[in-house]
Structure 1
Amino acid sequence: MAISSTGIGSGLDVEGIVSKLVALEKRPIAKLQTTAASIQSKISTFSQVKSLMSTFSDAAAKLTRDSGWNAMKATSSNEKAVAVSITGIASTTSFGMSVQKLARAQSVATAANPVLDAPVGGGVLTLQLGTWKDTDTSPTFAPGTADAVTISVDAADSLTKIAVAINEKNAGVSATVLRDASGERLLLRSKATGEASGFRIQVAEDPGAPGLSALAFDPENAPGTGMAAQAAQYAQNTQAKINGIAVSSADNTFADAIPGLSIKVSEVTTTDAEIAVSPDNAAVKKNITDFVDAFNALNDLLGTSTKYDEETKTAGVLQGDSSAVGLLNALRQQVTATMGGDGAFKRLSDIGIEMQRGGKLTVDASKLDKALKDPDAVKAMFASSTAKGAVADGLAVKIKGYLSGLLSFNGVMDSKSDALSAAAKRNTTEQDKVSERAAVLEKRLRAQYSALDKQMGSLSALNSYVAQQVSQWNKSR
């Protein structure tokens, strides 16, 4: 900061004078700043209102769609063995389901080799995915659609290297080397379950390095040799019965057996698990209470923001704002309106939803439960599109349409936000203008007082000189 000596020549408190005059010029800024804070509070509050309106609109929209009313629940008498869940549009039904077999992958192993990391023999392994049939009597193999995969084995390769080579082919079979007290053996397992995930391994040995046939698994053409001589687990589908009708799945889930249901089995059963699918009134009730809660949140914010609190003597942020007051009144009218048509329920109070003082909605749970015994009638009040040929939308349809208009591009909410933003910008501009005028005034005052100070300093010097001369004259006389 520059050092100012203004006032030394004149003896005046120039800094004090200039500061006070500039402060007077800046006085309008305080009022503008108060106005700016009020505008920002309104912008923030309208932003919250817009967010709650969007939530209320979503809650209303859920009640206009069939999915909001067609909620179903599924139960099983034996969840541990047969679990069921709703995945789509399901119908009311019941049935029994038993499980005879669970899906599994094919698994085979070589005989134990007592020498670890010993060479197995050279040649080529041919691995083919497919389905084994008649595995309890005379196994036959039906190749799948995937091409056979060949793995070349060097005469010096160990089981570990062969396992790596098989896994690198990514042919639907995983290979692992198991070491135990007997030595090491190669374990092969199909990556997927289901009878179509079975596999066959045929071997073309290198005559100069025999032994690779120990890795063959082809009980159809070479029974009792290689891995076919060991105990094998063949791949199989889940086998079950629904009301006595056989059904099958490559894994332990039945996704399409019953439309809209996913059934997952985990145990073989000795008796039927009873499955029941019925309307889920609890889910429908939740959709309705979510609608009420969303309205109450919006009503509380608008009510608090537009009222004057007698106890604290403070006004709400939006008190006197015609847009906010109009919106609050319109919303309360919307939710208390009487619906047309010939439905059993005409208004929310008919199903146990009453408006209290202050506009808040309360739910009489027992009355709502009673109304939901006729879900079609409740749905008609909320979601109907027409009534006897004349347009008479349901309550939720009307509210959704009303809110969509308010929230649309260039709707009331956007227009209000734009107006407040413009007011905030104008306020900032006015503050800048006042600050600029004050800066110009301060510069002019300092220039004037500097000139005055200089002139006063000259006069003071002249006065001292004259006084000195007079004193000299008086002495000489």
Structure 2
Amino acid sequence: MLTSTGIGSGLDIGSIVTAIVNAERLPLMARVDARRAEVDTLVSGFGILQTQLESIRANVTSLADASKLKATQASTTDASAVTVEASSAAQPGSYTVNVSALASAHSLVSGTFAATTEVVGSGTLSIKVGTGSATEITVASNSTVAEVRDAINASNSGVTASILKDGASYRLMINADATGAANTISISVANDGDSSNGDNAGLSQLAYNANEAHLSQSLSAADAAFTLNGLSLTSSTNQITDVVDGVDVTLSSITTSSVSVSVTRDSSKITGFVESFVSAYNSYVGSAKSLIKYDATTGEAGSLQGDAMSRAMLSQVRGLVTGTYSDVGGNYDALTDIGVTLQADGSLKIDNAKLDTAVRTDLDSIEKLFVGQTVSGTTHKGLAVQLDELMDGFLDATGLLPEKLEALDARIVDIEKDRAVFDARMLALEERTLRKFNAMDLLLGEITSTGDMLKAQLDALPGFANLRQSGSR
């Protein structure tokens, strides 16, 4: 703000101008601030509803997913020997497992070398695993044990080479990456630098095939052998994923007695889905009621009181939650059938014992209540599916709440434009008023200066002082 203290008049021009401008500014800005506060209140209220409805959608998604409602859990009586995991595709059941052999990867080891820097030789290694294609590896002249190891590991040949310390000496070990009897390693040598591909010297000392066995077999390639409920089975790996649908079994050691494996429905996870949904619903109902309320006694109103959209949304959500779904089939037509009841305040309450019984004894009906089913080509949507679709209509990019908040953002932009216009107008008013007062102050200063000059001249006239003292002019 431009300020000035009157030199000619002695007035505090800055304070006077400020008071004049504020007399016009304050009412205008008060109206702008009131408009902005009103919109900010609406944005806050709709933002709260959006957050609460997002929570409902996040939780209802699990109830609308049939695979999650079929959640299972698996257990074993000896996890050190047999571990098990079950997916939603698994059917409840019990199994007995006996392990007589574990799957192993073929492992070959060289003779000893004095150091990892000892030269092995040069030539071409041809490595083949099982019935796969052979991989040709060029070994440069004067390659050391460590360099041969690195060349093998860089070849992506299906084996991994490493150096083992054996007392004061070193050995090169070559292991198949895959377990199973079919994954045996075959290594042939060509172009050996010592001109002999079949002797046990130079690069040829790494040969292992039907004709030369210059490497030692430290571990044979073998399949896992086990029985499942008395049925003898084999596997090329210790991770068995294709014997029982939805069940993954890992064999860790040979057993001396039977290991019992059990797959059951994970009722705690399913009831957890329901509990989380009910909690999210109750939070939304509590917030919505507070936002749209009006207390006739106290005159207290929520920030969204009178908003038709908020009331309609609450009504639609409540209608689906308390509705009946007899067309989906099954033994449960409504939430009340599984122990979820409506309270006087609009919230939901869970009878945990009734819910747990419903989940454990009739999961199929639980699934139909929440997901629905298709009968004779006609799809009957369950509670969760319909509620999930309703949430999409509220919350997606073109949904009710994002569009409402976008419209409010546009109003804020307009209000701030008006504020900027008022600020510019008030600045112009301030500058005009200050110029006027400064001009007046300058004029008063000139008048005062002229009067002082005339008085000084008169005082200088002969006899004027005596006249003034006598009272005559």
Q: TM-score, normalised by structure 1?
A: 0.83
Partner of 2:18: 19
Q: Which amino acid in 2 is paired with 1:180?
A: D
Partner of 1:452: 440
Q: CA deviation at 1:442?
A: 0.8
Partner of 1:136: none
Kindly report which structure 2 residues correspond to 1:142-161, keeping only aligned pairs within 5 A, or say none.
Answer: 144-152=131-139, 154=141, 157-161=143-147
Partner of 2:471: none
| Cα pair 2:64 2:385 within 8 Å, conserved | yes
Kindly report which structure 2 residues correspond to 1:310-349, keeping only aligned pairs within 5 A, or say none.
Answer: 316-341=302-327, 344-349=331-336
| Cα pair 1:18 1:446 within 8 Å, conserved | yes
Secondary structure, aligned partner of 1:52: helix
Aligned equivalents of 2:286, 2:262: Cα separation in 1:
42
The CA RMSD measured in Å over matched residues stands at 3.4
Alpha-carbon displacement from aligned partner over 1:395-422 (angstroms, at most 9, x marks no partner): 2233223222222443321231122112
Q: Which of 197, 214, 217 does residue 208 from structure 2 map onto? A: 217
Mark the CA change 1:171 to 1:387 in structure 2 (over 3 Å): closer, same or farther.
Answer: closer
Mark the CA change 1:61 to 1:232 in structure 2 (over 3 Å): closer, same or farther.
Answer: closer
1:74 counterpart = 2:74: yes
Partner of 2:410: 422
Show structure 1 runs of 5+ residues with no match: 131-143
Alpha-carbon displacement from aligned partner over 1:346-405 (angstroms, at most 9, x marks no partner): 432332222334432221101212333223333333333679999874322332232222
Q: Which amino acid in 1 is paired with 2:65?
A: R
Alpha-carbon displacement from aligned partner over 1:143-174 (angstroms, at most 9, x marks no partner): x12125355475x5554443344334332223
Partner of 1:361: 348
Q: CA deviation at 1:329?
A: 4.0
Aligned equivalents of 2:448, 2:336: Cα separation in 1:
92
Q: Which of 203, 206, 214 does residue 226 from structure 1 map onto? A: 214
Q: CA deviation at 1:97?
A: 2.3
Q: CA deviation at 1:428?
A: 1.0
Q: Which of 260, 269, 280 does residue 274 from structure 1 map onto? A: 260
Percent identity over paired residues? 28
Q: Which amino acid in 2 is paired with 1:185?
A: R
Q: Which amino acid in 2 is paired with 1:371?
A: A
Aligned equivalents of 2:121, 2:425: Cα separation in 1:
99
Mark the CA change 1:353 to 1:235 in structure 2 (over 3 Å): closer, same or farther.
Answer: same
Q: Which amino acid in 2 is paired with 1:401?
A: E
| Cα pair 1:88 1:261 within 8 Å, conserved | no
Secondary structure, aligned partner of 1:405: helix
Moved more, 362-371 or 61-70: 61-70
Mark the CA change 1:465 to 1:149 in structure 2 (over 3 Å): closer, same or farther.
Answer: closer
Q: CA deviation at 1:8?
A: 1.7
Q: CA deviation at 1:114?
A: 6.0
1:32 counterpart = 2:32: yes
| Cα pair 2:71 2:88 within 8 Å, conserved | no
Partner of 2:394: 406
Aligned residues, how many?
457
Partner of 2:424: 436
Secondary structure, aligned partner of 2:398: coil
| Cα pair 1:385 1:397 within 8 Å, conserved | no
| Cα pair 2:241 2:247 within 8 Å, conserved | yes
Secondary structure, aligned partner of 1:79: coil
Aligned equivalents of 2:465, 2:379: Cα separation in 1:
118
Partner of 1:190: 176
Q: CA deviation at 1:262?
A: 1.2
| Cα pair 2:223 2:235 within 8 Å, conserved | yes
Secondary structure, aligned partner of 1:440: helix
| Cα pair 1:101 1:239 within 8 Å, conserved | yes
Partner of 2:242: 256
Q: CA deviation at 1:257?
A: 1.6
Aligned equivalents of 1:196, 1:383: Cα separation in 2:
46
| Cα pair 2:3 2:13 within 8 Å, conserved | no
Kindly report which structure 2 residues correspond to 1:263-302, keeping only aligned pairs within 5 A, or say none.
Answer: 263-302=249-288
Aligned equivalents of 1:311, 1:265: Cα separation in 2:
72
| Cα pair 1:354 1:361 within 8 Å, conserved | yes
Alpha-carbon displacement from aligned partner over 1:203-242 (angstroms, at most 9, x marks no partner): 4666667624543323x434xx523xx4531111222222
Secondary structure, aligned partner of 1:460: helix
Partner of 1:133: none
Q: Which amino acid in 2 is paired with 1:19?
A: T
1:475 counterpart = 2:461: no
Aligned equivalents of 1:365, 1:15: Cα separation in 2:
74
Partner of 2:187: 201
Alpha-carbon displacement from aligned partner over 1:439-464 (angstroms, at most 9, x marks no partner): 12111211211222222223223333
Mark the CA change 1:397 to 1:191 in structure 2 (over 3 Å): closer, same or farther.
Answer: closer
Q: CA deviation at 1:199?
A: 0.9
| Cα pair 1:190 1:198 within 8 Å, conserved | yes
Aligned equivalents of 1:398, 1:128: Cα separation in 2:
57
| Cα pair 1:124 1:151 within 8 Å, conserved | yes
Q: CA deviation at 1:425?
A: 1.6
Partner of 2:155: 169
Q: CA deviation at 1:88?
A: 4.9
Mark the CA change 1:336 to 1:186 in structure 2 (over 3 Å): closer, same or farther.
Answer: closer
Alpha-carbon displacement from aligned partner over 1:81-118 (angstroms, at most 9, x marks no partner): 22111235222333322222111111122333568855
Moved more, 372-381 or 429-438: 372-381
Q: CA deviation at 1:122?
A: 6.2
Show structure 2 runs of 5+ residues with no match: 468-473
Aligned equivalents of 2:120, 2:376: Cα separation in 1:
84
Partner of 2:64: 64
Q: CA deviation at 1:256?
A: 1.6
